[in-house]
A and B are shown apart, each in its own frame.
Chain A
Amino acid sequence: MALELKSSDNKIFEVEELVAVQSETIKSLVEDGCADNVIPLPNVDSKTLELVLDWCKNHVDMKLDEEKLKEYEDKFIEVDQAVLYDLLLAANYLNIKDLLNRACQKVADMLKGKTPEQIRETLNIVNDFSPEEEEEIRKENLWAFEE
Chain B
Amino acid sequence: MDQGRRPNKFIANRNNKIYMDLKDIIREHALPFLPAKSLFRFKGVCRDWKLQISTPFFAHNQSNNFHRVMGFFCQSQSKPPSFISLDPNSCGIPDPSLQFLPEPVDIRTSSNGLLCCQGRTGEQPYYICNPATKQWKKLPKPTANHGSNPALVLIFEPSLLNFIAEYKLICAFPSADFDNAYEFEIYSSSEGSWTISREMFFGGAMFMPCSGVHVNGIVYWLSKMGGGGIVFFDLTMERTQRLYSSQNGCLGVMDGKLTVTSAYGQALTVNVLSNSYTNTMGMNSRVKAWDRKLHVNLSDRSELGPLPSYTHSAHDQGAVLFASGDVIVFRCDRALHTYDMKTKEFGRLSCEIDNDVRFFGYVNSLVEI
Residues of A within 8 A of B (CB): 8, 25, 43, 45, 82, 85-86, 88-89, 92-93, 100-101, 104-105, 107-109, 111-113, 115-116, 119-120, 123-129, 134, 137-138, 141, 143-145, 147
Contact = CB atoms under 8 A, between A and B. Distances in A.
Given A92-B29, A108-B33, A143-B92, A129 B44 contact: yes
A69 to B, nearest CB: 13
> Which 5 residue pairs of A and B lie closest in terms of their CB atoms, listed nearest first?
A108-B33, A144-B40, A104-B30, A112-B90, A116-B44
Given A43-B19, A93-B7, A109-B33, 18 more contacts: A88-B25, A89-B6, A89-B25, A92-B20, A100-B29, A105-B30, A105-B65, A107-B26, A108-B31, A112-B38, A119-B42, A120-B46, A125-B49, A127-B45, A127-B46, A129-B47, A143-B40, A144-B38
B22 A123 contact: yes
B43 A93 contact: no
Given A25-B18, A105-B33, A144 B45 contact: no
A104 B45 CA distance: 18
Interface in B1-52: 1-2, 5-7, 17-20, 22-23, 25-26, 29-35, 37-38, 40-47, 49-50
15 contacts: A43-B19, A88-B25, A89-B7, A89-B25, A105-B65, A107-B26, A108-B30, A108-B31, A112-B38, A116-B44, A125-B23, A141-B41, A143-B37, A143-B95, A144-B94
A141 B2 contact: no
A82 B33 contact: no
Contacts of A141: 40-41, 43-44, 94
Contacts of B1: 82, 85, 124
Contacts of B95: 143
Nearest to A145: B41
Given A116-B42, A144-B41, A108 B5 contact: no
B87 interface: yes
B38 A111 contact: yes
A109 B19 CA distance: 24
Contacts of B29: 92, 100-101, 104
A100 B47 CA distance: 24
B146 to A, nearest CB: 33
Q: Which of B41, B90, B95 has the most CB of A within 10 A?
A: B41
Given A105-B33, A124-B23, A113 B90 contact: yes
A89 to B, nearest CB: 6
Contacts of B35: 112
B147 to A, nearest CB: 36
A113 B23 contact: no
Interface of B: 1-2, 5-7, 17-20, 22-23, 25-26, 29-35, 37-38, 40-47, 49-50, 65, 87-90, 92-95
A111 B50 CA distance: 16
A147 B46 contact: no
Contacts of A137: 43-44, 50
B45 A120 contact: yes
B89 A113 contact: yes
A144 B89 CA distance: 8
Contacts of B44: 116, 129, 134, 137-138, 141, 145
A101 B31 CA distance: 11
A119 B20 contact: no
A113 B38 contact: yes
Contacts of A124: 1, 23
Given A128-B47, A143-B94, A104 B33 contact: yes
B89 A89 contact: no
A106 B107 CA distance: 33
A124 B26 CA distance: 12
A93 B18 contact: yes
A109 B33 CA distance: 8
B83 to A, nearest CB: 11
B367 to A, nearest CB: 17
Nearest to B17: A92
A128 B46 contact: yes
B91 to A, nearest CB: 8
Nearest to A123: B23
Nearest to B37: A144
A116 B41 CA distance: 7
Contacts of B50: 137
A81 B306 CA distance: 41
Contacts of A116: 41-42, 44-45
